[in-house]
């Protein structure tokens, strides 16, 4: 492929290359990273007007082995509890309240680090409801780009607390200004964030937001829209969170059954009248 013009490379070429890497013994995680790199290359080419054809990585037939890598379920230990999030934010707020507000906003909206760096004041709309419209992402050391999402721009409804944080940092700024900035008024950098560790990974705040929405009963397809993921990805990644609700329902059914009476350790209905055998 290196010897060919970029615009001649088709989706089947990319898929064939990835399959050959897998057959050659490379781990699916390694090949998945190669796919991500190729996708970024063709996205850049498209933005520069060099592609003149559908994006070959986005339009190719999926490779099942790579889908499994992407949809790895998070373990319960990777999602901090509400008490832990509140505790670490309280400690951090005593050192740098602005950084604590950034991390709290991430925990309420599920936005990634690159996306929170790129937020502009005009991303907020309040009619018919308060929403953050995630349009761009800007990871440290890279050019700003479209968000890492198959949906592109996505709306994220804001809770009252998230809206209050947004308004606080938008006050006095123009529409195109960054919402969150460093103490000199420049764009946030990961170097500053690393000076104030949370005790959990920054990406865990995204997991925290998603799991909170699911536990509140938000439909899976809506959570997927807020995250910019596919519904099946949410089902796979947060399977244990969804299972919690089913287990709680099971326990309620058990409790309801026991309220009728227990006979010899087995659930049964207490007979209040004559037995059927009499």
pLDDT in tens, 34-85: 888 888 888 888 888 888 889 999 899 988 877 654 456 777 888 999 999 9
Q: Under the phi-then-psi rule, with left for phi > 0, alpha for psi from -120 to 50, and beta for the rest, what region is 110?
A: left
Domain boundary assignment for the chain: 6-70, 76-237
Residue listed under structure tokens 């953050």: 132
Query: At the top level of CATH, which class does the domain 76-237 belong to?
Result: mainly alpha
- Condensed to tens digits (0 to 9), the pLDDT of residues 119-167 reads 999 999 999 999 999 999 999 988 898 887 656 789 999 999 999 999 9
Q: In angstroms, what CA-CA distances link 204 with 70, 155, 207, 268?
A: 16, 21, 5, 44
* pTM (two decimals): 0.70
Residues in the chain: 278
What is the sign, positive or negative, of the torsion defined by CA atoms of 45, 48, 49, 50? negative
Residue 100, token pair as written in the block:
């604590």
CATH number of 6-70: 1.10.150.130
Q: Determine how β-strand 154-157 pairs with β-strand 131-134.
A: antiparallel
Query: What share of the chain in percent tops pLDDT 70?
Result: 89
């Amino acid at each position: 492929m290196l010897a060919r013009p970029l615009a001649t490379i088709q989706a089947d070429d990319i898929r064939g290359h990835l399959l050959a890497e897998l057959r050659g013994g490379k781990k699916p995680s390694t090949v998945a990273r190669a796919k991500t790199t190729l996708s970024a290359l063709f996205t850049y080419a498209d933005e520069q007007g060099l592609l003149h054809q559908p994006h070959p990585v986005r339009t190719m037939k999926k490779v099942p082995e790579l889908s499994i890598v992407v949809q790895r379920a998070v373990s319960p230990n990777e999602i901090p509890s509400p008490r832990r999030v509140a505790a670490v934010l309280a400690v951090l707020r005593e050192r740098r309240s602005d950084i604590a507000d950034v991390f709290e906003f991430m925990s309420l909206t599920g936005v990634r680090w690159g996306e929170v760096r790129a937020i502009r004041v005009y991303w907020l709309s309040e009619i018919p409801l308060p929403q953050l419209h995630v349009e761009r992402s800007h990871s440290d050391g890279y050019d700003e780009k479209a968000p890492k999402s198959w949906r592109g721009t996505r709306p994220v409804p804001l809770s009252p607390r998230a809206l209050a944080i947004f308004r606080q940092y938008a006050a006095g700024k123009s529409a195109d200004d960054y919402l969150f900035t460093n103490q000199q008024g420049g764009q946030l950098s990961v170097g500053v964030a690393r000076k104030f560790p949370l005790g959990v990974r920054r990406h865990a705040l995204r997991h925290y937001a998603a799991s909170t929405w699911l536990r509140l009963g938000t439909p899976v397809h809506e959570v997927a829209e807020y995250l910019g993921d596919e519904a099946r990805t949410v089902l796979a990644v947060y399977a244990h969170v969804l299972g919690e609700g089913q287990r709680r329902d099971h326990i309620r059914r058990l409790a309801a059954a026991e309220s009728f009476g227990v006979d010899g350790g087995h659930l049964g209905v207490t007979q209040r009248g004559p037995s059927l055998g009499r």
